[in-house]
Chain A
Amino acid sequence: MSFLNNVITGISLGSIYAIIALGYTMVYGIAKMLNFAHGDVIMVGAYMAFFAMGRFELPAIAGVLLAVVVCTALGIVIERLAYKPLRQAPSLAVLITAIGVSYFLQNGAQILWGAATKTFTPIVNGTLVLVPEQLSISYVAILSVVCCIVVMIGLTLFTTRTKMGKTMRACSEDKAAAQLMGINVDATISMTFAIGSALAAIAGVLMCSAYPVLSPTTGSMPGIRAFTAAVFGGIGSIPGALLGGILLGIIETFGKAYISTDLSDAVVFAVLIIVLLVKPAGLMGKYVPEKV
């Protein structure tokens, strides 16, 4: 029974990593950039939902909508001001800018909203009892797993079926060739950021519903974990992010339960290194042979 309990805990935790990882992988896959500020956009989204639901007592759906709108706008503004001018710059320059944006968001949030931790009001409450007294699963966990799957399917359909999605994939394959084909690469990348930030808002609300504390640094640690999950699953691969996130959650939980709570971080990252040694491009990443 405790094994099943651990599986459920792992999946619940993993689904949160997965939903953040989906945003990461989306931006990485198209813009080829590690957006270290993603975790902080999540934090902003969670604050928005918190204010809507906690302070103004709006219904949960309004909170989610506000978060999505604000984060999308924020994503577009950040992209315009900080990333777009660096389109031609080396990728490391963009990486450092992203770190700057991350510091900016964290410190800005602290000045605007204070350093004190706030408690988030979950958008759904309660648990589903499977075996009384022994086995239960919270509705938030169910909701986040469902959201992950919906988002994954949605993104897959979007990138394979719609025109916009196809232009995105074209940009991801080869920017120069896409431009020659008449695709507006700049606009496509901006669009990617908008979508990525909207996903961040949803992730923020789900994360803070599952683990209801909120402070200006809430997003940074899960952001790193989700980045790990995205790489684990094969960065750039949408189903890979889901798989990587869930597996990371399960490994972390099992490591704590069966090896040692003292060394849980070491266990997670050791497994990650071993997996990457066996599959150098992550679980579902495409191995692209280099052309000479």
Chain B
Amino acid sequence: MKKFLALLLALAMTLALAACGGNDSQNDNSAPADNTQSDAQTPGDDAQSSGEAVTIKIGGIGPITGDLAQYGTATQWGAQIAVDEINALNGPVKLEYNFQDDTGVSDTAVSAYNNLKDWGANVIYGCTTTTPCVTVASETYADRYFQLTPSASSTDVTDGKDNVFQMCFTDPGQGTAAANYLKDNGLGTKYAVIYNNGDQYSSGIADAFIAKAGELGLEIVATQTYPEDTTTDYTVQLNACKDAGADLVFLPIYYTPASLILNQAKQMDYAPTFFGADGMDGMLDMEGFDKSLAEGLLLMTPFNASGTDDRTVSFVEKYQADHGILPNQFAADGYDCMYAIYEACCQIEGVGSMSNEELCDALIAVFTGGSFSVDGLTGSGMSWLTNGEVSKDPVVVKVENGAYVTQ
């Protein structure tokens, strides 16, 4: 027993020592950023004085291991492309980028955030998923860091925090938009909803959709849930929708379970119109996915990887070259976040000599100033409300012949 403990201690000490070593080498080029906060948090002090570009340190947080890794890596890689492009511009502001893993869990996200604080981050980019983002947001609020999340869409993320902004639509916003769209376009007569009741994103959209549908007089005949995205069998839920005679099924869920639902619906000869939210984007790019299953599927997504404008084409090319897969809306949102931060920083006078508190207030002033807007992959002329919500137009696309067609 004692031997073992001694061993464990020795192991931990080696690691701790090695860890310190790692820290030092990372921080060499910034200030002598040992552990005191204030040292490292003035962006590019020396750079400013010598008249070169100011460097803003962006600390990203998201799950890059575990169940949710596919979403976290997308936001990580999408932002990386934007950072490289921005730094190649030789503009007045350069970005330094460090992305930390939160495995999609709140307490790990807080550690990741503090790690980034130690690194000397000026702006926080993340988290990818809602649950950890709510927790980190209240930390950044207390510490006065500006935070922009690519994809954490619950209103709890921004609620009561002036420093947190979203690049994606809010969950209730999407639910309401979905109900409005169905009503306006006269799609379906009887509606059903299947959602993940263990997930904030999914139940947030579903609740708002059901409420709005009630207002608009849309008849919801079945509301079905499942507890987590690792669930594999949805036949019971689909049967309930089928027995209730639903001809349009709303699926405010991620694309992995949705692909199973489409598959199982086909096996049981149930062919209603399926309507999804932005989490559905990415389904067509799943390796091996039979695209005919998704034929006729409608979804709301801000990003279309088969878009033909130059910026999208170049983004998709770079992403594919680096990672071998097509980018989805998570990656595109991440890309846009970097440009939003960059363009806002460019508008601030003396950005190089600001502490993180000052930078936070300055960025809030720019974002909510009324005249600030960003053109990106997920929308043009995007602007922000004072509560942190993004204002951009929801786009509904339909899958036809294995590709998105904007409706």
Whole-angstrom CA separation of A138 from B267 in the bound complex: 7
A6 CA to B236 CA, complexed, in Å: 7
Asked if A9 and B235 sit within 8 Å, CB to CB, the answer is yes
Partner of A261, one of B226, B269, B285: B226
Interface status of A13 (Cβ within 8 A of chain B): yes
| A256 in contact with B70 given A116-B286, A119-B288, A213-B260 (CB within 8 Å) | no
Interface residues in A92-131 by Cβ distance below 8 A to B read 107, 110, 114-121, 127
| B269→A136 contact, CB < 8 A | yes
Residue pair A211, B67 in contact (C-beta under 8 Å): no
Counting chain A residues whose Cβ lies within 8 A of the other chain, the interface size class is 35 or more
Quote the shortest CB–CB distance from B65 to chain A (angstroms).
Answer: 6
What CA separation (Å) do A13 and B236 show in the bound complex?
11
The total of chain B residues at the interface (CB under 8 A) is: 41
Tell me which residues across on chain A come within 8 A of B259, comparing CB atoms. 117, 119, 212-213
Chain B residues lying within 8 Å of A9, measured Cβ to Cβ, are 233, 235-236, 239
Q: Is the CB of A127 within 8 A of B288?
A: no
- Asked if A264 is at the interface of the complex by the 8 Å CB criterion, the answer is yes
The residues of B that contact A118 with a CB separation of less than 8 Å are 286-288
- The residue that A265 contacts in the complex, of B72, B227, B269, with Cβ under 8 A, is B227
Bound Cα distance from A126 to B70, whole angstroms: 30
| Inter-chain contact B325/A114, CB cutoff 8 Å | yes
Kindly identify, within residues 227 to 246 of chain B, every residue whose CB is under 8 Å from any CB belonging to chain A: 227-228, 230, 232-233, 235-237, 239-240, 243
Check B287–A217 contact: CB distance below 8 A: no
A280 contacts B by Cβ under 8 Å:
no
Contact B288 A253 (CB under 8 A): no
Q: Is the CB of B227 within 8 A of A264?
A: yes
Tell me, in angstroms, the Cα distance from A54 to B286 when the chains sit together: 12
A104 to B59, CA, bound (A): 28
Q: Which residues, 228 to 272 on A, are CB-close (under 8 Å) to B?
A: 252-253, 256-257, 261-262, 264-265
A2 interface hit (Cβ, 8 Å)? yes
With A117-B286, A136-B267, A256-B237 already in contact, the answer to whether A261 and B225 are too (CB < 8 A) is yes
Q: How far is the CA of A244 from the CA of B73 in the complex (A)?
A: 38
**In whole angstroms, how far apart are the Cα atoms of A220 and B66 in the complex?**
11
The answer to whether B70 touches A215, judged by C-beta atoms less than 8 angstroms apart, is: yes
**Residue among A5, A16, A213, A257 with max Cβ neighbours from chain B (10 Å):** A213
Residue of B233, B259, B285, B290 with most chain A CB atoms under a 10 A cut-off: B233
Assuming the A-B contacts A212-B263, A215-B70, are A54 and B287 also in contact, with contact meaning beta carbons closer than 8 angstroms in the complex?
yes
Provide the residues of chain A in CB contact with B230, threshold 8 Å: 217, 220-221
With a CB–CB cut-off of 8 A, which chain A residues contact B255? 117
Interface residue from B226, B235, B288 paired with A54 (Cβ < 8 Å)? B288
* Assembly CA distance A13 to B234 (angstroms): 10
What 1/0 mask marks residues of chain B from 279 to 323 whose CB sits below 8 Å from any chain A CB?
Answer: 000000111111000000000000000000000000000000001
A36 cross-chain contacts in B, Cβ below 8 A: none
Q: Does B197 contact A (CB under 8 A)?
A: yes
Does any Cβ of B come within 8 Å of A174's Cβ?
no
- B208 CB → nearest A CB, Å: 18
A19 CB, min distance to chain B CBs, angstroms: 14
Known: A211-B260, A212-B260, A256-B237. A261 touches B224 (CB 8 A): yes
Cβ-neighbour of A217 out of B66, B286, B324 (below 8 A): B66
**Residues of A close to B65: CB separation below 8 A:** 107, 110, 115
Chain B residue nearest in CB terms to A260: B225
Q: Which A residues are CB-close (under 8 A) to B386?
A: none
Answer whether residue A222 sits at the interface, using C-beta atoms and an 8 A cutoff: yes
A13–B233 touching, CB < 8 Å: yes
Contact with A along B32-72 (1 / 0, CB 8 A): 00000000000000000000000000000000111101101
**CB-CB contacts below 8 Å: B2-57 with A:** none
- B328 nearest CB neighbor, chain A only: A116
Residues of chain A at the chain B interface (Cβ within 8 Å): 2, 5-6, 9, 12-13, 16, 50, 54, 107, 110, 114-121, 127, 133, 136, 138, 207, 210-213, 215-217, 220-222, 252-253, 256-257, 261-262, 264-265
Could you give 23 example pairs across A and B, Cβ below 8 Å?
Answer: A2-B243, A6-B239, A9-B233, A110-B65, A114-B323, A115-B72, A116-B285, A116-B286, A117-B255, A119-B287, A136-B267, A136-B268, A207-B232, A212-B260, A213-B232, A213-B256, A213-B286, A220-B230, A253-B233, A253-B235, A256-B237, A257-B236, A261-B225
Known: A118-B287, A261-B237, A264-B226. 11 other contacts (CB 8 A): A6-B236, A9-B239, A50-B288, A107-B65, A118-B288, A121-B288, A127-B269, A221-B228, A222-B232, A253-B235, A257-B239
